[in-house]
Amino acid sequence: MTESPPPRRRWITPTIPARFVRELTDRLPLAADTLRRIHQRAGIDPRLLEADEPRVAPIAYRRLQRLAVGAAGDEFLGHLARPVPPGTTAELLRLLAHMPSTGHAIDGIARMIRVFDGAPPWRIDLPEGPAGPVRLHLTPRNAVQADALLMVHLILLGLIHVIGWLAGEAPPLRRVMLPDRFAALAAESAFLFGRPVEHGAMPGGLEFGPGSFALPVTARPDGAGAFTRRLVELMTQPTAPAGTEAALRHLLAATRPYAGLSETAAARALGLSRATLARRLASSGMSFRLVRDELRRDLACSLLRRTELSLADIAERLGFSEPSAFQRAFRQWTGQPPARWRRLNR
């Protein structure tokens, strides 16, 4: 007797709750005929949005968001005090790509939102030690922002993907904290954030692994436009989890001097033995020394290109005892002395 083959696994494309679709346009000053027209072009029957049960395909949701931004001339869909003109996000990302670290870039995003909203969008709690988490807490300006489901997702998911683009890798996300009113959408939130979420009496926030805001920015300014166009799509897909290598990179980025932990201390901070850490890194063709050297190289290049710091100051940040030791290491990393590399890459 032969065994019957196992049933095929069905892959179901996730859909968007009707409330999110309504919130795309319900704060925009659009006439009824304009709303009807953009719903029709997006392929959405407005009658489906009258109740919470119906759901919309992601492609229609993304199309509606682009049409709504174009019709209203507001990239934040009416959630801020003043409209954010189309193209602002792409221009901001081009500027952020010149920042030396992800922390500077996140501060730049907060400043931009404050220009259009008159209030800071979040509060950041920095860790006391190198192995501590970085916590970001939303600070809604008024009751309308506090009640919006879409706004919370737009900001938190957008931050995760922007940090990943700037640093070239997904940030290690430890916790996602959402208001109690999100509990009914727990499955959708877990899908989008790539992990189970916590609910409570708070406006919402994120907890990142150590060093998430200390990584050097490696994104190129000329890639900002393409990334901005993909951002709407990315925020309707699962957030990629960060593995051991990414967690190690963020941990080393949080130490002072930069990447200054030993392999044993880093393994302990990650809750691993030294052998386990080495084995996991080796499975992706990496080693502790390679990760540490890549971090130092990337930060050195970022500081040389984007700041006026002297070679002695950069050497001190990277933990070299003498500028000459830094110059020898940099030549090994890039094949050029740092002064010449700076002249060619400013």
| Closest residue by Cα to residue 296 from 274, 312, 318, 315 | 318
- Among the candidates 234, 269, 287, a domain finishes at 234
Tell me how far apart the alpha carbons of residues 302 and 317 are, in angstroms, rounded to a whole number: 12
Is residue 175 assigned to a domain?
Answer: yes
**One domain for residues 190 and 265:** no
Q: Which domain range does residue 314 map to?
A: 244-345
In a domain, 264, yes or no: yes
Residues 216 and 248 in one domain: no
Q: What pLDDT was estimated at residue 196?
A: 83
Question: Both 202 and 113 in a single domain?
Answer: yes
Per-residue pLDDT, 10: 35
In whole angstroms, give the CA distance from residue 66 to residue 63.
Answer: 5
Residues 63 and 39 sit within 8 Å (Cβ to Cβ): no
For residues 186 and 269, membership in a common domain is answered with no
Average confidence (pLDDT) per 10 residues, the chain, 346 residues: 38 66 88 91 81 76 92 93 95 94 94 95 82 88 86 91 90 89 85 86 89 88 93 84 81 86 90 90 87 90 89 92 93 92 87
From 184, 201, 234, give the residue that closes a domain: 234
Give the position of tokens 């700076």.
342
Answer whether residue 324 is part of any domain: yes
For residue 129, the model assigns a pLDDT of 66
What pLDDT does residue 3 have?
41
| pLDDT value at residue 4 | 41
Query: Collapsing DSSP states into helix, strand and coil, what is residue 109?
Result: helix
Residue 165 lies in a domain: yes
Per the structure, the count of domains in the chain is 2
Q: Are residues 213 and 278 in the same domain?
A: no
Say if 209 falls within a structural domain: yes
Q: In terms of domains, do 266 and 209 share one?
A: no
Residue 107 within a domain: yes
Indicate the pTM of the whole model: 0.76
User: Could you tell me if 204 and 273 lie in one domain?
Assistant: no
With respect to residue 31, please indicate whether it lies within any of the assigned structural domains: no
pLDDT at position 118:
95
Residues 183, 134 share a domain: yes
Write down which residue in 208, 234, 260 finishes a domain.
234
The answer to whether the beta carbons of residues 270 and 316 sit under 8 Å apart is no
- For residues 38 and 71, is the Cβ–Cβ distance under 8 A? yes
Domain co-membership, 105 together with 215:
yes
Cβ neighbors of 16 (< 8 A, separation 6 or more) are 55, 56, 57, 58, 61, 188, 236
Q: For residues 187 and 142, state if they share a domain.
A: yes
Please report the pLDDT score of residue 264 as a whole number.
Answer: 94
Q: Are residues 212 and 107 in the same domain?
A: yes
Domain membership of residue 128 (yes or no) is yes
Q: Are residues 108 and 164 in the same domain?
A: yes
* CATH code, 321: 1.10.10.60
